[in-house]
């Protein structure tokens, strides 16, 4: 069987090979597809291919709908205008200084334009009068105790009209009176001579028509009526009193006018700034009458045959008497101020010097007073009894400057008090009367009839008697037993030689807010809406110059600020004593390379004079720079909290 099979295979092979050589036969009919076999095992993965290229960015989608508004945030804290804390409240007319700043408890702000140019002719529609003589007035239509903290500055003047009028940031300035006004429409309640007009004590002749209103003090009689007291600063000086009432619209009306009678104290001289005591009496300051220099006593020209015009005016006022220099240069208190016959007392106990201002502390005993002169002293007086300044002890401030500092903007001073002497008005007045009657016929060139520096030195040295005339002593006291007259009649020299600092230059206004100091010291809650923990007395310095920058003594500041001036504040302790003085706000850098009228930046302080402290702690500052400067004087408001 195997052999037959092999034979068949071989024959098939031969036939197949033979077919290759021959023509192919026709293709047979396709057979039916066979059944699919089982799936084989998967093969191994191939190698990974290369990454493909990035696709093209798609187009932006359409914007979505706005979301729902969020809730309002909480109110922010009020900002400070201009970043510096200074706001220009008003500018005064060409030629004038800002004087008489006074803020009542009801928010009425009084201030004056002192000695404006007599060439001013512009008239505003509210007052219908030019500002060409001394002007007393008030801001109407605004309560200064409720001012916002984001006030906008009054503009710097650009037109002649703005230069010659009072431009304000808020409210409307109302003229209450001008130098020479008689208020004739008031009949017997008017003035025969005129506002600021002074007559001779004996002659009755007009001596001076004063155009220099200074301090204002207002004392309420009822809610909308009261009396405005105004100083008139010249030789001789004076004080006016206007009884006034305020309408529902805030406009004031004068109902009665008078000049205070100072004849009982032989008149006053150069009545500068002032204050109202806590018991409601005006205190008026006699300033530039003393006529002494840094290291001298009373100038001998008081009885010289040839004198200045102003001193001659004073002689005419007293004629036939000759003026006694020791009767002038004090703080005078107007008692019974609302009566028909106010009574005037001069407080010799507070010392004789160029008084700018005196301020009484809430204890009603402690008084601070500033000497407005080159080489001046800051004085303190402590009365023996409250509300009675007729007896007590006088002190001078001794300063210690911060080590390593000299720039006025950052340099402060620690304060100690040097006791000078204790005295009474009565005893000092007895010494003063010894110099009455010294007339020009007593004058000897090169000599003095008054207290000499040798007299002062002998007192400081504790000598038992005054120097003789041969030793340089005054002929009035030569060889007599020593007393304390020097301490009060030549207070600057006594304080200086006792060790107090006599180096201030233009030590001007002093001010406190009575209630803020009372709350800080006593803890009584008297300032609504605020807890007051620190008490300050504010001090204006018109010139940081001369004895403050000479590189000698207790005050050695740099000359960066100079005539641009600044404002300081003094810390008040639990005994109402000042313990430290520090800068608050300074004028700009003094640019000596420029002309004198633009050396102080008009957007900053320039020779600040008087200062008032508002109930909320902000301060008002009046300027008194030269009338020759390019920009008019400004009434500023400053917020110490901006520091």
Listed in sequence order, the residues at least 6 apart from 299 whose beta carbon sits closer than 8 Å to its beta carbon are 291, 292, 293
Per-residue model confidence (pLDDT) at position 27: 46
Per-residue model confidence (pLDDT) at position 71: 56
Q: Which two tokens stand for residue 609?
A: 């004079």
SS3 per-residue string spanning 494-547: HHHHHCCCCCEECEEEEECCHHHHHHHHHCCCCCCCCCCCCCEEEEEECCCCHH
Find out whether the peptide bond into 320 is cis, omega within 30 degrees of 0. Answer: yes
Q: What is the pTM of this model?
A: 0.85
Q: Are 87 and 201 in contact (CB under 8 A)?
A: no
**Distance, CA of 164 to CA of 170 (rounded, Å):** 18
Which H or E run contains 19? Answer: helix 2-21
- In terms of Cα–Cα distance, which of 515, 509, 510 is closest to 614? 515
Q: Which two tokens stand for residue 158?
A: 């650009």
Q: Are 555 and 378 in contact (CB under 8 A)?
A: no
Q: Are 128 and 205 in contact (CB under 8 A)?
A: no
Grouped pLDDT means (10 residues each) for the chain, 643 residues: 38 35 42 49 52 53 54 42 76 96 96 96 96 98 92 90 96 98 97 95 94 97 96 96 96 98 96 97 94 79 76 91 94 98 98 97 98 95 99 99 97 98 99 94 84 96 97 95 98 97 95 98 94 96 95 96 95 98 93 78 90 96 81 93 72
Per-residue model confidence (pLDDT) at position 53: 54
Strands 619-623 and 634-638: antiparallel
Listed in sequence order, the residues at least 6 apart from 39 whose beta carbon sits closer than 8 Å to its beta carbon are none
SS3 per-residue string spanning 247-316: CCCCCEEEEEEEECCCHHHCCCCCEEEEEECCCCCEEEEECCCCCCCCCCCCCHHHHCCCCCHHHHHHHH
**Distance, CA of 259 to CA of 229 (rounded, Å):** 9
Percent helix, percent strand, percent coil in the chain, to nearest 5: 15, 30, 55
């Amino acid at each position: 069987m195997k052999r037959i099979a092999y034979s068949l295979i071989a024959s098939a092979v031969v036939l197949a090979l033979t077919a290759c050589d021959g023509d192919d036969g026709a293709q047979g009919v396709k057979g039916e597809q066979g059944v699919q076999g089982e799936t084989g095992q998967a093969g191994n993965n191939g190698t990974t291919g290369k990454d493909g290229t990035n696709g093209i960015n798609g187009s932006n989608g359409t914007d979505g709908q706005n979301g729902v508004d969020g809730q309002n945030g909480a109110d922010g804290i009020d900002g400070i205008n201009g970043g510096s804390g200074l706001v220009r409240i008003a500018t005064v007319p060409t030629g004038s200084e800002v004087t008489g700043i006074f803020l009542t408890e009801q928010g009425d702000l009084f201030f004056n334009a002192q000695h404006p140019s007599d060439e001013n002719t512009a008239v505003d529609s509210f007052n219908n009068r030019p500002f060409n003589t001394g002007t007393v007035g008030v801001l109407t239509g605004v309560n200064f105790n409720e001012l916002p903290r984001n006030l906008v500055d009054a503009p710097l003047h650009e037109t002649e009209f703005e230069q010659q009028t009072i431009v304000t940031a808020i409210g409307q300035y109302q003229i209450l009176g001008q130098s020479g006004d008689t208020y004739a429409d008031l009949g017997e309640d008017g003035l025969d001579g005129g506002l600021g007009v002074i007559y001779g004590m004996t002659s009755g002749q007009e001596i001076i028509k004063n155009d220099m209103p200074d301090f204002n003090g207002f004392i309420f009689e009822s809610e909308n009526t009261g009396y405005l007291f105004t100083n008139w600063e010249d030789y001789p000086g004076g004080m006016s009193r206007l009884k006034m009432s305020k309408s529902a619209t805030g406009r004031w009306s004068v109902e009665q006018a008078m000049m205070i009678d100072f004849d009982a104290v032989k008149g006053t001289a150069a009545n500068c700034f002032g204050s109202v005591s806590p018991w409601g009496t005006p205190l008026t300051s006699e300033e530039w009458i003393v006529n002494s220099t840094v290291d001298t006593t009373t100038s001998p020209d008081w009885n010289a045959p040839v004198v200045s015009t102003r001193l001659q005016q004073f002689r005419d006022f007293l004629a036939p008497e000759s003026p006694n220099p020791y009767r002038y240069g004090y703080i005078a208190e107007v008692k019974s101020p609302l009566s028909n016959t106010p009574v005037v007392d001069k407080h010799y106990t507070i010392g004789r010097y160029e008084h700018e201002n005196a301020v009484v502390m809430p204890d009603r005993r402690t008084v601070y007073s500033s000497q407005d002169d080159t080489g001046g002293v800051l004085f303190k007086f402590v009365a023996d009894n409250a509300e009675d300044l007729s007896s007590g002890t006088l002190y001078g401030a001794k300063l210690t400057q911060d080590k390593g500092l000299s720039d006025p903007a950052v340099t402060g001073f620690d304060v100690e008090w040097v006791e000078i002497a204790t005295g009474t008005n009565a005893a000092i007045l007895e010494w003063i009367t010894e110099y009455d009657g010294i007339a020009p016929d007593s004058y000897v060139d090169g000599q003095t009839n008054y207290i000499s520096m040798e007299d002062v030195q002998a007192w400081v040295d504790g000598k038992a008697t005054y120097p003789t005339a041969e030793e340089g002593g005054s002929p009035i006291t030569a060889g007599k037993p020593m007393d304390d007259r020097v301490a009060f009649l030549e207070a600057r020299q006594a304080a200086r030689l006792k060790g107090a600092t006599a180096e201030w230059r233009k030590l001007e206004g002093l001010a406190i807010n009575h209630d803020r100091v009372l709350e800080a010291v006593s803890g009584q809650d008297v300032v609504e809406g605020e807890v007051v923990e620190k008490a300050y007395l504010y001090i204006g310095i018109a010139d940081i110059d001369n004895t403050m920058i000479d590189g000698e003594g207790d005050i050695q500041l740099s000359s960066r600020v100079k005539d641009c001036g600044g404002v300081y504040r003094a810390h008040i302790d639990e005994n109402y004593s000042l313990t430290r003085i520090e800068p608050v706000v300074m004028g700009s850098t003094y640019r000596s390379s420029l002309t004198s009228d633009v050396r102080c930046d008009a957007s900053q302080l320039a020779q600040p004079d008087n200062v008032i402290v508002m109930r909320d702690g902000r301060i008002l500052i009046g300027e008194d720079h030269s009338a020759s400067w390019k920009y008019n004087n400004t009434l500023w408001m400053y917020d110490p909290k901006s520091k």
